[in-house]
Structure 1
Amino acid sequence: MNKNSKVIAVIPVYNEENFIENTIKNIQSIKSIDEIVIVNDGSTDNTENIVKEMGVKLINLNQNRGKGFAIKKAIEEVDYGYLVLIDGDLGKTSNEVEKLILPVLNDEGDVSIARFQKAKKKGGFGFVKKLAKYGVYLYTGKKIDTTLSGQRVYKKEVIDKISYIPDRFGIEVAMTVQTFRHGFSIKEVDVEMTHRETGRSMKDFIHRGKQFWDILKTLIQLLYKG
Protein backbone atom coordinates (compact mmCIF):
# COMPACT_ATOMS: atom_id res chain seq x y z
CA MET A 1 0.00 0.00 0.00
CA ASN A 2 1.10 3.58 -0.62
CA LYS A 3 2.76 5.40 2.28
CA ASN A 4 0.09 8.04 1.82
CA SER A 5 -3.18 6.13 2.02
CA LYS A 6 -5.59 9.05 1.68
CA VAL A 7 -8.36 8.37 -0.82
CA ILE A 8 -9.48 11.61 -2.45
CA ALA A 9 -12.48 11.87 -4.77
CA VAL A 10 -12.17 14.58 -7.42
CA ILE A 11 -15.29 15.66 -9.29
CA PRO A 12 -14.89 18.15 -12.15
CA VAL A 13 -18.23 19.85 -12.85
CA TYR A 14 -19.70 22.20 -15.40
CA ASN A 15 -23.36 23.21 -15.05
CA GLU A 16 -24.43 20.18 -13.02
CA GLU A 17 -27.06 21.80 -10.78
CA ASN A 18 -29.52 18.98 -11.48
CA PHE A 19 -27.19 16.17 -10.42
CA ILE A 20 -24.39 17.40 -8.18
CA GLU A 21 -26.24 17.31 -4.85
CA ASN A 22 -27.17 13.64 -5.19
CA THR A 23 -23.74 12.82 -6.61
CA ILE A 24 -22.03 14.28 -3.54
CA LYS A 25 -24.50 12.86 -1.01
CA ASN A 26 -24.05 9.32 -2.25
CA ILE A 27 -20.26 9.59 -2.36
CA GLN A 28 -20.29 10.85 1.22
CA SER A 29 -21.70 7.47 2.24
CA ILE A 30 -18.50 5.70 1.13
CA LYS A 31 -16.33 5.19 4.22
CA SER A 32 -13.11 4.57 2.27
CA ILE A 33 -13.16 8.09 0.76
CA ASP A 34 -11.34 10.57 3.00
CA GLU A 35 -12.18 13.79 1.17
CA ILE A 36 -14.32 15.04 -1.72
CA VAL A 37 -12.98 17.82 -3.94
CA ILE A 38 -15.24 19.58 -6.42
CA VAL A 39 -13.63 21.54 -9.25
CA ASN A 40 -16.20 23.99 -10.59
CA ASP A 41 -15.14 24.48 -14.19
CA GLY A 42 -16.67 27.90 -14.79
CA SER A 43 -20.31 26.86 -14.28
CA THR A 44 -22.91 29.50 -15.11
CA ASP A 45 -25.83 27.83 -13.29
CA ASN A 46 -26.38 27.21 -9.56
CA THR A 47 -23.73 24.48 -9.23
CA GLU A 48 -21.34 26.57 -7.15
CA ASN A 49 -23.94 27.54 -4.56
CA ILE A 50 -25.18 23.97 -4.17
CA VAL A 51 -21.64 22.71 -3.59
CA LYS A 52 -20.90 25.45 -1.04
CA GLU A 53 -23.90 24.35 1.03
CA MET A 54 -22.64 20.76 1.19
CA GLY A 55 -19.44 21.38 3.11
CA VAL A 56 -16.97 19.82 0.69
CA LYS A 57 -13.76 21.32 -0.68
CA LEU A 58 -14.44 23.56 -3.67
CA ILE A 59 -11.95 24.75 -6.27
CA ASN A 60 -13.42 27.44 -8.51
CA LEU A 61 -12.21 28.16 -12.03
CA ASN A 62 -13.28 31.54 -13.37
CA GLN A 63 -14.02 30.19 -16.83
CA ASN A 64 -14.69 26.86 -18.50
CA ARG A 65 -11.33 25.28 -19.26
CA GLY A 66 -12.27 21.64 -19.79
CA LYS A 67 -12.43 18.45 -17.73
CA GLY A 68 -8.74 17.66 -18.11
CA PHE A 69 -7.69 21.13 -17.00
CA ALA A 70 -9.97 20.87 -13.94
CA ILE A 71 -8.48 17.52 -12.95
CA LYS A 72 -4.93 18.83 -13.36
CA LYS A 73 -5.81 21.75 -11.08
CA ALA A 74 -7.04 19.35 -8.40
CA ILE A 75 -3.95 17.14 -8.70
CA GLU A 76 -1.80 20.22 -8.08
CA GLU A 77 -3.69 21.18 -4.94
CA VAL A 78 -4.61 17.97 -3.12
CA ASP A 79 -2.57 15.52 -1.08
CA TYR A 80 -3.52 11.94 -1.89
CA GLY A 81 -2.42 8.34 -2.07
CA TYR A 82 -5.31 7.24 -4.25
CA LEU A 83 -7.16 9.47 -6.69
CA VAL A 84 -10.82 8.75 -7.47
CA LEU A 85 -12.14 10.52 -10.57
CA ILE A 86 -15.90 10.85 -10.79
CA ASP A 87 -18.22 12.67 -13.17
CA GLY A 88 -20.73 15.05 -11.64
CA ASP A 89 -23.81 13.61 -13.37
CA LEU A 90 -23.90 10.18 -11.70
CA GLY A 91 -26.47 11.34 -9.17
CA LYS A 92 -27.78 8.63 -6.86
CA THR A 93 -25.60 5.96 -8.52
CA SER A 94 -22.31 7.66 -7.58
CA ASN A 95 -21.84 5.33 -4.60
CA GLU A 96 -21.15 2.56 -7.11
CA VAL A 97 -17.64 4.00 -7.30
CA GLU A 98 -16.88 2.01 -4.15
CA LYS A 99 -16.62 -1.03 -6.44
CA LEU A 100 -13.66 0.67 -8.12
CA ILE A 101 -11.85 1.68 -4.96
CA LEU A 102 -11.53 -1.69 -3.27
CA PRO A 103 -9.65 -3.50 -6.08
CA VAL A 104 -6.99 -0.78 -6.16
CA LEU A 105 -6.66 -0.67 -2.37
CA ASN A 106 -6.25 -4.47 -2.47
CA ASP A 107 -3.58 -4.30 -5.23
CA GLU A 108 -5.72 -6.13 -7.77
CA GLY A 109 -4.80 -3.39 -10.22
CA ASP A 110 -2.91 -0.10 -10.30
CA VAL A 111 -5.93 1.56 -11.90
CA SER A 112 -9.59 0.61 -12.02
CA ILE A 113 -12.14 1.83 -14.55
CA ALA A 114 -15.93 1.54 -14.46
CA ARG A 115 -17.59 -0.55 -17.14
CA PHE A 116 -21.15 0.70 -17.60
CA GLN A 117 -24.08 -1.39 -18.76
CA LYS A 118 -25.24 -0.97 -22.33
CA ALA A 119 -26.80 2.44 -22.96
CA LYS A 120 -30.59 2.51 -22.99
CA LYS A 121 -30.76 5.48 -25.33
CA LYS A 122 -29.72 5.38 -28.99
CA GLY A 123 -26.69 7.57 -29.43
CA GLY A 124 -24.24 8.04 -32.27
CA PHE A 125 -22.68 5.54 -34.62
CA GLY A 126 -19.77 4.50 -32.42
CA PHE A 127 -17.07 6.48 -34.21
CA VAL A 128 -15.76 8.12 -31.02
CA LYS A 129 -15.61 4.84 -29.09
CA LYS A 130 -13.93 3.05 -31.99
CA LEU A 131 -11.32 5.79 -32.38
CA ALA A 132 -10.52 5.73 -28.67
CA LYS A 133 -10.39 1.93 -28.41
CA TYR A 134 -8.30 1.49 -31.57
CA GLY A 135 -5.99 4.34 -30.56
CA VAL A 136 -5.22 2.71 -27.21
CA TYR A 137 -4.61 -0.63 -28.93
CA LEU A 138 -2.40 0.97 -31.58
CA TYR A 139 -0.14 2.57 -28.96
CA THR A 140 -0.11 -0.15 -26.32
CA GLY A 141 -1.28 -3.46 -27.80
CA LYS A 142 -3.96 -3.59 -25.08
CA LYS A 143 -7.67 -4.01 -25.73
CA ILE A 144 -10.09 -2.62 -23.15
CA ASP A 145 -13.76 -1.68 -23.32
CA THR A 146 -13.65 1.30 -20.97
CA THR A 147 -11.40 3.69 -22.86
CA LEU A 148 -13.82 6.60 -22.51
CA SER A 149 -15.14 5.92 -19.01
CA GLY A 150 -14.44 8.83 -16.67
CA GLN A 151 -15.04 6.87 -13.46
CA ARG A 152 -11.56 5.78 -12.41
CA VAL A 153 -9.29 5.12 -9.42
CA TYR A 154 -5.53 5.66 -9.66
CA LYS A 155 -2.65 4.92 -7.34
CA LYS A 156 -0.55 8.03 -6.89
CA GLU A 157 2.50 6.42 -8.46
CA VAL A 158 0.56 6.07 -11.71
CA ILE A 159 -0.49 9.73 -11.75
CA ASP A 160 3.12 10.72 -11.03
CA LYS A 161 4.18 9.02 -14.27
CA ILE A 162 1.50 10.63 -16.42
CA SER A 163 3.08 13.69 -18.00
CA TYR A 164 0.39 14.62 -20.50
CA ILE A 165 -3.21 15.38 -19.57
CA PRO A 166 -5.07 17.28 -22.31
CA ASP A 167 -7.54 19.96 -21.25
CA ARG A 168 -10.69 18.51 -22.75
CA PHE A 169 -12.17 15.28 -24.11
CA GLY A 170 -8.92 13.45 -24.78
CA ILE A 171 -8.09 13.02 -21.10
CA GLU A 172 -9.25 9.40 -20.66
CA VAL A 173 -7.43 8.19 -23.76
CA ALA A 174 -4.23 10.01 -22.82
CA MET A 175 -4.22 8.67 -19.27
CA THR A 176 -5.04 5.13 -20.40
CA VAL A 177 -2.22 5.03 -22.95
CA GLN A 178 0.35 6.40 -20.50
CA THR A 179 -0.78 3.99 -17.77
CA PHE A 180 -0.08 1.02 -20.03
CA ARG A 181 3.12 2.52 -21.45
CA HIS A 182 4.62 2.70 -17.96
CA GLY A 183 3.79 -0.92 -17.23
CA PHE A 184 0.87 -0.41 -14.86
CA SER A 185 -2.20 -2.62 -14.83
CA ILE A 186 -5.83 -1.66 -15.37
CA LYS A 187 -8.78 -3.55 -13.94
CA GLU A 188 -12.18 -3.01 -15.55
CA VAL A 189 -15.05 -3.26 -13.09
CA ASP A 190 -18.73 -3.75 -13.92
CA VAL A 191 -20.96 -1.13 -12.29
CA GLU A 192 -24.62 -0.17 -12.24
CA MET A 193 -23.97 3.55 -12.66
CA THR A 194 -26.18 5.78 -14.76
CA HIS A 195 -25.40 9.19 -16.15
CA ARG A 196 -26.58 11.65 -18.76
CA GLU A 197 -26.71 9.94 -22.14
CA THR A 198 -26.48 11.75 -25.46
CA GLY A 199 -29.03 11.09 -28.17
CA ARG A 200 -29.28 11.98 -31.83
CA SER A 201 -30.09 15.67 -31.76
CA MET A 202 -27.95 18.16 -33.64
CA LYS A 203 -26.49 19.31 -30.32
CA ASP A 204 -25.50 15.73 -29.47
CA PHE A 205 -23.83 15.18 -32.84
CA ILE A 206 -21.89 18.45 -32.47
CA HIS A 207 -20.77 17.31 -29.01
CA ARG A 208 -19.55 13.99 -30.40
CA GLY A 209 -17.80 15.77 -33.24
CA LYS A 210 -15.83 17.88 -30.76
CA GLN A 211 -15.07 14.75 -28.73
CA PHE A 212 -13.81 12.90 -31.84
CA TRP A 213 -11.58 15.82 -32.82
CA ASP A 214 -10.12 16.19 -29.32
CA ILE A 215 -9.33 12.47 -29.11
CA LEU A 216 -7.71 12.53 -32.55
CA LYS A 217 -5.52 15.47 -31.50
CA THR A 218 -4.66 13.63 -28.29
CA LEU A 219 -3.56 10.53 -30.19
CA ILE A 220 -1.34 12.66 -32.42
CA GLN A 221 0.22 14.31 -29.35
CA LEU A 222 0.87 10.90 -27.83
CA LEU A 223 3.22 10.11 -30.69
CA TYR A 224 5.66 12.55 -29.10
CA LYS A 225 4.99 12.06 -25.40
CA GLY A 226 6.00 9.35 -22.96
Structure 2
Amino acid sequence: MKTHPALSIIVPARNEELRIAETLAAVRSASQQWNGLSSIPELELIVVDDGSSDMTYRRAAHWADVVVRHPTCCGKGKALSTGKHAARGNVLVFLDADLGASARFYPELALPVLNGLADMVIAQLAGAARPGGLGLVKKLAKQGVYGLSGFSASAPLSGQRAVRREVLERIGRLSGGFGVEVGLTIDAVKLGYRVLEQPVPFAHRETGRDLHSWLHRGKQLCAVGGTLWRWWRQPVC
Protein backbone atom coordinates (compact mmCIF):
# COMPACT_ATOMS: atom_id res chain seq x y z
CA MET A 1 0.00 0.00 0.00
CA LYS A 2 1.38 3.40 -1.00
CA THR A 3 1.83 5.78 1.90
CA HIS A 4 0.63 9.34 1.78
CA PRO A 5 3.35 11.95 1.30
CA ALA A 6 4.43 13.84 4.38
CA LEU A 7 4.46 17.06 2.39
CA SER A 8 2.45 18.48 -0.50
CA ILE A 9 3.84 21.58 -2.20
CA ILE A 10 1.15 23.55 -4.03
CA VAL A 11 2.06 26.22 -6.58
CA PRO A 12 -0.79 28.31 -8.05
CA ALA A 13 0.23 29.84 -11.37
CA ARG A 14 -1.22 32.07 -14.05
CA ASN A 15 0.80 33.08 -17.11
CA GLU A 16 4.11 32.27 -15.43
CA GLU A 17 5.88 30.58 -18.35
CA LEU A 18 9.02 32.67 -17.78
CA ARG A 19 9.62 31.60 -14.15
CA ILE A 20 7.58 28.48 -13.37
CA ALA A 21 10.28 26.03 -14.52
CA GLU A 22 12.99 27.75 -12.47
CA THR A 23 10.72 27.75 -9.40
CA LEU A 24 9.83 24.08 -9.69
CA ALA A 25 13.40 23.05 -10.47
CA ALA A 26 14.55 24.82 -7.30
CA VAL A 27 11.94 22.95 -5.26
CA ARG A 28 13.07 19.63 -6.75
CA SER A 29 16.73 20.36 -6.09
CA ALA A 30 16.10 21.38 -2.49
CA SER A 31 13.96 18.30 -1.93
CA GLN A 32 16.73 15.98 -3.10
CA GLN A 33 19.24 17.61 -0.76
CA TRP A 34 16.75 17.59 2.10
CA ASN A 35 15.96 13.89 1.67
CA GLY A 36 19.67 13.20 1.97
CA LEU A 37 19.69 14.77 5.43
CA SER A 38 16.23 13.95 6.81
CA SER A 39 13.77 11.08 6.71
CA ILE A 40 10.88 12.48 4.65
CA PRO A 41 8.61 9.56 3.61
CA GLU A 42 7.42 11.17 0.39
CA LEU A 43 6.88 14.57 -1.20
CA GLU A 44 4.51 15.64 -3.99
CA LEU A 45 4.65 18.76 -6.12
CA ILE A 46 1.33 20.12 -7.41
CA VAL A 47 0.80 23.01 -9.81
CA VAL A 48 -2.60 24.61 -10.34
CA ASP A 49 -2.66 26.41 -13.70
CA ASP A 50 -5.36 29.05 -13.23
CA GLY A 51 -6.48 29.56 -16.81
CA SER A 52 -3.11 30.56 -18.28
CA SER A 53 -2.97 31.68 -21.90
CA ASP A 54 0.75 30.96 -22.28
CA MET A 55 2.99 27.89 -21.89
CA THR A 56 2.69 27.64 -18.10
CA TYR A 57 0.97 24.24 -18.21
CA ARG A 58 3.50 22.59 -20.52
CA ARG A 59 6.51 23.93 -18.65
CA ALA A 60 5.06 22.90 -15.28
CA ALA A 61 4.23 19.39 -16.49
CA HIS A 62 7.94 18.57 -16.87
CA TRP A 63 8.59 19.15 -13.15
CA ALA A 64 5.35 18.61 -11.24
CA ASP A 65 3.81 15.35 -10.08
CA VAL A 66 0.34 16.75 -10.70
CA VAL A 67 -0.79 19.69 -12.82
CA VAL A 68 -4.45 20.72 -12.49
CA ARG A 69 -5.72 23.12 -15.11
CA HIS A 70 -8.59 25.57 -14.70
CA PRO A 71 -10.16 26.28 -18.12
CA THR A 72 -10.58 29.93 -17.17
CA CYS A 73 -9.09 32.21 -14.50
CA CYS A 74 -10.85 31.50 -11.21
CA GLY A 75 -8.61 33.55 -8.89
CA LYS A 76 -5.94 32.69 -6.36
CA GLY A 77 -8.32 31.54 -3.65
CA LYS A 78 -9.93 28.98 -5.96
CA ALA A 79 -6.51 27.84 -7.18
CA LEU A 80 -5.37 27.17 -3.62
CA SER A 81 -8.62 25.33 -2.90
CA THR A 82 -8.11 23.16 -5.97
CA GLY A 83 -4.57 22.40 -4.85
CA LYS A 84 -5.75 21.54 -1.36
CA HIS A 85 -8.25 19.01 -2.70
CA ALA A 86 -5.65 17.45 -5.00
CA ALA A 87 -3.04 17.16 -2.23
CA ARG A 88 -2.53 14.03 -0.15
CA GLY A 89 0.09 15.29 2.30
CA ASN A 90 -0.25 15.82 6.03
CA VAL A 91 1.43 19.21 5.68
CA LEU A 92 0.71 21.58 2.79
CA VAL A 93 3.16 24.23 1.58
CA PHE A 94 1.87 27.05 -0.63
CA LEU A 95 4.47 28.75 -2.83
CA ASP A 96 4.03 31.45 -5.47
CA ALA A 97 5.11 30.56 -8.99
CA ASP A 98 7.45 33.55 -9.41
CA LEU A 99 9.91 32.69 -6.62
CA GLY A 100 12.46 31.38 -9.09
CA ALA A 101 15.67 30.01 -7.58
CA SER A 102 14.71 31.29 -4.12
CA ALA A 103 12.05 28.55 -3.90
CA ARG A 104 14.91 26.32 -2.69
CA PHE A 105 14.44 27.80 0.78
CA TYR A 106 11.02 26.22 1.25
CA PRO A 107 12.31 23.69 3.87
CA GLU A 108 12.79 26.63 6.27
CA LEU A 109 9.04 27.17 5.97
CA ALA A 110 8.00 23.54 6.31
CA LEU A 111 10.28 22.22 9.06
CA PRO A 112 8.63 23.98 12.04
CA VAL A 113 5.28 22.44 11.05
CA LEU A 114 6.73 18.99 10.34
CA ASN A 115 8.53 19.08 13.69
CA GLY A 116 5.37 20.04 15.59
CA LEU A 117 6.53 23.53 16.57
CA ALA A 118 3.67 25.35 14.80
CA ASP A 119 0.42 24.63 13.01
CA MET A 120 1.00 27.30 10.36
CA VAL A 121 4.18 29.13 9.39
CA ILE A 122 4.10 32.31 7.32
CA ALA A 123 7.21 33.55 5.51
CA GLN A 124 8.39 37.09 6.10
CA LEU A 125 10.14 38.37 2.98
CA ALA A 126 12.77 41.07 2.77
CA GLY A 127 11.64 44.52 1.67
CA ALA A 128 11.48 45.39 -2.02
CA ALA A 129 14.67 46.66 -3.63
CA ARG A 130 12.83 49.43 -5.48
CA PRO A 131 9.81 51.60 -4.61
CA GLY A 132 6.47 49.96 -5.23
CA GLY A 133 3.05 50.93 -3.94
CA LEU A 134 2.00 53.09 -1.03
CA GLY A 135 1.54 50.23 1.41
CA LEU A 136 -2.24 50.68 1.62
CA VAL A 137 -3.08 47.02 1.00
CA LYS A 138 -0.63 45.74 3.60
CA LYS A 139 -1.79 48.33 6.14
CA LEU A 140 -5.44 47.37 5.64
CA ALA A 141 -4.55 43.68 5.92
CA LYS A 142 -2.52 44.15 9.12
CA GLN A 143 -5.21 46.23 10.81
CA GLY A 144 -7.92 43.86 9.69
CA VAL A 145 -6.15 40.72 10.91
CA TYR A 146 -5.44 42.34 14.27
CA GLY A 147 -8.96 43.70 14.64
CA LEU A 148 -10.64 40.38 13.86
CA SER A 149 -8.24 37.97 15.57
CA GLY A 150 -5.90 39.91 17.88
CA PHE A 151 -2.87 38.62 15.95
CA SER A 152 -0.26 41.25 15.08
CA ALA A 153 0.87 40.13 11.63
CA SER A 154 4.09 41.34 10.04
CA ALA A 155 3.40 39.59 6.72
CA PRO A 156 -0.39 39.42 6.38
CA LEU A 157 -0.29 39.13 2.58
CA SER A 158 2.46 36.52 2.30
CA GLY A 159 1.47 33.68 0.01
CA GLN A 160 4.37 31.54 1.21
CA ARG A 161 3.13 29.42 4.08
CA ALA A 162 3.11 25.90 5.45
CA VAL A 163 0.06 24.54 7.26
CA ARG A 164 -1.13 21.27 8.71
CA ARG A 165 -3.94 19.65 6.74
CA GLU A 166 -6.05 19.46 9.90
CA VAL A 167 -6.11 23.25 10.11
CA LEU A 168 -7.48 23.66 6.60
CA GLU A 169 -10.04 20.91 7.05
CA ARG A 170 -11.34 22.40 10.28
CA ILE A 171 -11.53 25.90 8.82
CA GLY A 172 -13.38 24.51 5.82
CA ARG A 173 -13.31 27.72 3.76
CA LEU A 174 -10.88 29.80 1.76
CA SER A 175 -11.60 33.32 0.60
CA GLY A 176 -11.55 33.99 -3.11
CA GLY A 177 -8.98 36.11 -4.89
CA PHE A 178 -6.17 37.97 -3.18
CA GLY A 179 -7.86 37.97 0.23
CA VAL A 180 -7.23 34.27 0.78
CA GLU A 181 -4.15 34.66 3.01
CA VAL A 182 -5.80 37.26 5.23
CA GLY A 183 -8.85 35.07 5.78
CA LEU A 184 -6.74 31.98 6.45
CA THR A 185 -4.66 33.75 9.09
CA ILE A 186 -7.72 35.13 10.89
CA ASP A 187 -9.46 31.76 10.98
CA ALA A 188 -6.39 29.81 12.14
CA VAL A 189 -5.74 32.23 15.00
CA LYS A 190 -9.39 32.37 16.10
CA LEU A 191 -9.55 28.58 16.22
CA GLY A 192 -6.57 28.50 18.56
CA TYR A 193 -3.89 27.18 16.23
CA ARG A 194 -0.24 28.13 16.62
CA VAL A 195 0.64 30.63 13.91
CA LEU A 196 4.30 31.57 13.48
CA GLU A 197 5.91 34.17 11.23
CA GLN A 198 9.59 33.83 10.40
CA PRO A 199 12.02 35.32 7.88
CA VAL A 200 12.68 33.18 4.82
CA PRO A 201 14.85 34.56 1.96
CA PHE A 202 12.28 34.13 -0.80
CA ALA A 203 12.40 36.66 -3.64
CA HIS A 204 9.40 37.68 -5.74
CA ARG A 205 9.30 39.35 -9.10
CA GLU A 206 8.92 42.97 -8.01
CA THR A 207 6.21 45.26 -9.32
CA GLY A 208 6.76 48.90 -10.13
CA ARG A 209 4.57 51.93 -10.51
CA ASP A 210 3.23 51.42 -14.00
CA LEU A 211 -0.48 51.21 -14.80
CA HIS A 212 -0.60 47.42 -14.65
CA SER A 213 0.98 47.41 -11.18
CA TRP A 214 -1.46 50.01 -9.86
CA LEU A 215 -4.41 48.06 -11.25
CA HIS A 216 -3.09 44.92 -9.57
CA ARG A 217 -2.84 46.72 -6.23
CA GLY A 218 -6.35 48.05 -6.67
CA LYS A 219 -7.65 44.51 -7.14
CA GLN A 220 -5.74 43.43 -4.04
CA LEU A 221 -7.20 46.26 -1.99
CA CYS A 222 -10.75 45.38 -3.02
CA ALA A 223 -10.20 41.67 -2.40
CA VAL A 224 -8.68 42.16 1.05
CA GLY A 225 -11.38 44.63 2.04
CA GLY A 226 -14.08 42.26 0.83
CA THR A 227 -12.61 39.35 2.78
CA LEU A 228 -12.40 41.38 5.99
CA TRP A 229 -16.02 42.46 5.60
CA ARG A 230 -17.26 38.91 5.05
CA TRP A 231 -15.12 37.47 7.85
CA TRP A 232 -16.49 40.15 10.22
CA ARG A 233 -20.04 39.25 9.19
CA GLN A 234 -19.44 35.50 9.33
CA PRO A 235 -16.70 34.65 11.86
CA VAL A 236 -15.38 31.10 11.90
CA CYS A 237 -16.23 30.82 15.59
Give TM class, smaller chain: over 0.9
RMSD across aligned C-alpha pairs, in angstroms? 1.5
User: Aligned partners of 1:101 and 1:95: how far apart in 2?
Assistant: 12
Alpha-carbon distance between aligned partners in 2 of 1:162 and 1:4, rounded to the nearest angstrom: 22
1:122 corresponds in structure 2 to 131
Unaligned 5+ residue runs, structure 1? none
CA distance in 2, matches of 1:56, 1:25: 12
Q: Is the 8 A contact 1:164 1:225 kept in 2?
A: no
Q: CA deviation at 1:133?
A: 0.4
Aligned identity (percent) is 34
**What residue is the counterpart of 2:181 in the other structure?**
172
Match of 1:156 in 2: 165
Relative distance call for 1:205 and 1:66 in structure 2 (3 A) is same
Residue matched to 1:107: 116
Question: Offset of 1:144 from its aligned partner?
Answer: 1.5
Is the deviation greater in 94-103 or in 24-33?
24-33
Aligned pairs for 1:81-92 (under 5 A) are 81-92=90-101
CA distance in 1, matches of 2:139, 2:63: 39
Q: Helix, strand or coil for the counterpart of 2:178?
A: coil
Aligned to 1:220: 229
Residues 55 and 127 from structure 1, CA distance in 2 versus in 1: closer, same or farther, beyond 3 angstroms? closer
1:3-18 aligned at under 5 Å gives the runs 6-18=6-18
Give the distance between the partners of 2:18 and 2:68, measured in 1 at CA: 19
TM-score (norm 1): 0.95
Aligned counterparts of 1:138 and 1:49: Cα–Cα separation in 2 = 43
Query: Matched residues in 2 for 1:41 and 1:210: separation?
Result: 17
Distance in 2 separating the partners of 1:225 and 1:28: 38
- How many residues are paired up? 224
- Say which SS state the counterpart of residue 112 (structure 1) adopts: strand
Once residues 114 and 152 of structure 2 are traced to their aligned partners in structure 1, the CA distance between those partners, rounded to angstroms, is 24
Q: Deviations over 1:184-207 (max 9, x none)?
A: 011112111111111111211111
TM-score (norm 2): 0.91
SS of equivalent residue, structure 1 residue 222: helix
Structure 2 alignment gaps of length 5 or more: none
Between the aligned partners of 2:97 and 2:84, the Cα distance in structure 1 is 17
Correspondence for 2:151 among 142, 154, 169: 142
CA distance in 1, matches of 2:64, 2:149: 41
Which is further off, 191-200 or 173-182? 191-200
SS at match of 1:170: helix
Question: How far apart in 2 are the matches of 1:184 and 1:54?
Answer: 33
SS at 1:8 equivalent = strand
Alignment partners' CA distance in 2, 1:169 and 1:49: 25
In structure 1, the partner of 2:220 is 211
Aligned partner letter, 1:58: V
SS where residue 9 of structure 1 aligns?
strand
CA distance in structure 1 between the aligned counterparts of 2:135 and 2:62, rounded to whole angstroms? 39
Q: Which has the higher helix share?
A: 2
Say whether residues 1:48 and 2:57 are aligned partners. Answer: yes
